Structure 1
């Protein structure tokens, strides 16, 4: 029977890898989410500021009444991050992003025409602009944590 030199030390290092990688991935995801949210807030049309102030991110599911803009979840489900816009007061993020068509009003304004609104994109342009950078950052974090564990740090 052949004995493998250093096997016990290797196994110890491999046991440390998941925790080290998770911490590095979590930090990279947070940094990416902060960048995406900051870009969204800088691009959104501001009237009262309520929509801008409702944009954010959270670990796990989106807050009640908000609209999920992007969600990322690890294969094991431990790391799930959601970028969102809206709250109980602001439920119109999708109308700002995608526009509204001209339509006849109802209710107390029945019989009048609403001219519609033009699209003022802010969330998907931000997501598309920064998702590749964020994904690369996460990949680098995984590699860096693996190298750190292998080096014994």
Structure 2
């Protein structure tokens, strides 16, 4: 016997879940924001410290709706109104992946830039936290469902 499944999509799934148990989206949104803030805190803890430390201070977790037009770390925008992300100064990618030696243009044309070594801090930190982050969001949704069912 073959099983048949229908893929709903995230929006349809959340509408259906909200119909069954009101308050699930608010619980998930709150958990997502906590996860983004915790991820930002963990990334900032291992971020390379420059001369002034401004980069480390610029790392924050926030809702994407509160930061229109600002590209989050990783560059992924979402249609989800409750989506969250980690934001940092634009130099995060140069620190994360390094730069090759090159000849400068702009203010100091013709001078040689020696390049920078890569200092991975964003993706390794997220990779180690991702499983816990997903579990935290799942627990928040499960708790909201149980609360609405009276258990």
TM-score under structure 1 length normalisation: 0.72
Q: Tell me, in whole angstroms, the C-alpha distance in 2 between the residues paired with 1:151 and 1:107.
A: 64
- Tell me whether 1:18 sits opposite 2:22 in the alignment: yes
Alignment of 1:1-153 (within 5 A): 17-19=21-23, 21-47=24-50, 48-61=52-65, 63=67, 66-70=70-74, 77-86=80-89, 91-107=90-106, 109-151=108-150
TM-score (structure 2 length as normaliser) = 0.73
Unaligned runs of at least 5 residues, structure 2: 1-17
**Deviations along 1:13-62, whole A, 9 cap, x unmatched?**
x857231x123212321221121011111111111111111111221247
Q: Distance in 2 between matches of 1:50 and 1:138?
A: 31
Computing the radius of gyration over CA atoms, which structure comes out larger, 1 or 2? 1
Residue 6 of structure 2 aligns with which residue? none
User: Contact between 1:39 and 1:126, CA under 8 Å: does it hold in 2?
Assistant: yes
**Cα-to-partner distance string for 1:96-125 (whole Å, 9 max, x where unaligned):** 111000111234543332110001112112
Q: List runs of 5+ in structure 1 lacking aligned partners.
A: 1-13
1:93 CA drift (Å) = 1.7
Structure holding more strand per residue: 1
Partner Cα separation in structure 2 for residue 119 and residue 62 of structure 1? 31
Determine the C-alpha separation between the residues in 1 that align with 2:62 and 2:130. 17
**Hey, what's the Cα distance between the residues in 2 that align with 1:50 and 1:26?**
29
RMSD: 2.6
